[in-house]
Structure 1
Amino acid sequence: MSKYDPLGAYLRHQNRTHIPMTFRELERILGLKLPHSKVHRAWWSNNASNNVMTSQWLDAGYETESVDIAAEKLIFKKINDNDLKREGEGQPNLSEPGGSLRHPIFGSMKGTVTVMPDVDLTEPMVFEWGEKLYNE
């Protein structure tokens, strides 16, 4: 059982397509304070592997449509079942516990880019080729 289960239960009982909510209202539903990471936009993303709370709203059939971190409010939007499917399956079964909803394109580019072992992606780039091209 997750400490974020109350959010999933709340959203499952909603019949609205858009649910505006403040962070304070969300904390009241959860019965606990949101973590400090609530100030980061990525924490509110609809990536199912992002955090446990994200899985709750996705499994309940909602996604975050609009998050205003400064004003501490957001809107949950009902997911269109026709646009999503479970990984490796057909249409999503929203009543199935534990499954994560994903857009069909999620992971489609997996394995298409290979970084050679001796390449350091953090090393600054040298633009000598560009200087030669533009200075000639």
Structure 2
Amino acid sequence: MAKYDPLASFLRRQKRIEVDLTFRDIERIVGGILPKAAVVNGWWRADPSRPLMPQHVAFAKAGFVAEPRIQAETVRFVRVAAAAPSPDERAHADVREPGK
């Protein structure tokens, strides 16, 4: 099981369009500490010019994009169907795990 699979499972079970979680909530869900890089917006948001990271794959598999609020140490996860995705986000909307 990949580190962020529990977060993807949690998000899939949510009925709301937006789910707000603190960094601590996320750490409890994944059963581990977030990396130091999590205090950077780019860690949460996929960059089409770079390879997808495991957390980006997990969010996308669950049908969400992340909107970090770094200073508040919170993340709002928004359902992709509810969000008006940018062209960059659309490029990553059909994410598949490597080898599948």
- TM-score, structure 1 as length reference: 0.57
Distance apart, 1:85 and its partner CA: 6.8
Q: 1:46 touches 1:58 (CA, 8 Å); kept in 2?
A: no
Distance apart, 1:79 and its partner CA: 0.6
- Distance in 1 between the 2:90 and 2:36 partners? 32
Give the alignment of 1:1-136 within 5 angstroms: 1-47=1-47, 49-64=51-66, 66-80=67-81, 99=96
- Distance in 1 between the 2:61 and 2:41 partners? 20
Kindly tell me: are residues 23 and 57 of structure 1, through their superposed partners in 2, closer, same or farther at Cα, counting changes over 3 Å? same
Larger Cα Rg: Structure 1 or Structure 2? 1
Which structure carries more relative contact order (alpha carbon 8 Å, separation 6+)?
2
Q: 2:44 touches 2:55 (CA, 8 Å); kept in 1?
A: no
RMSD: 2.8
Q: 1:37 touches 1:43 (CA, 8 Å); kept in 2?
A: yes
Identity of aligned residues (%): 31
- Partner SS for 1:19: strand
For structure 2, the residue ranges without an aligned partner over 5 or more in a row are: none
Aligned length: 91
- Partner SS for 2:71: coil
Q: 1:4 touches 1:56 (CA, 8 Å); kept in 2?
A: yes
Q: 1:3 touches 1:30 (CA, 8 Å); kept in 2?
A: yes
Which has the larger share of helix? Answer: 2
| Structure 1: 4+ residue segments shifted above 4 A | 83-87
- Partner SS for 2:21: strand
Kindly tell me: are residues 85 and 41 of structure 1, through their superposed partners in 2, closer, same or farther at Cα, counting changes over 3 Å? closer
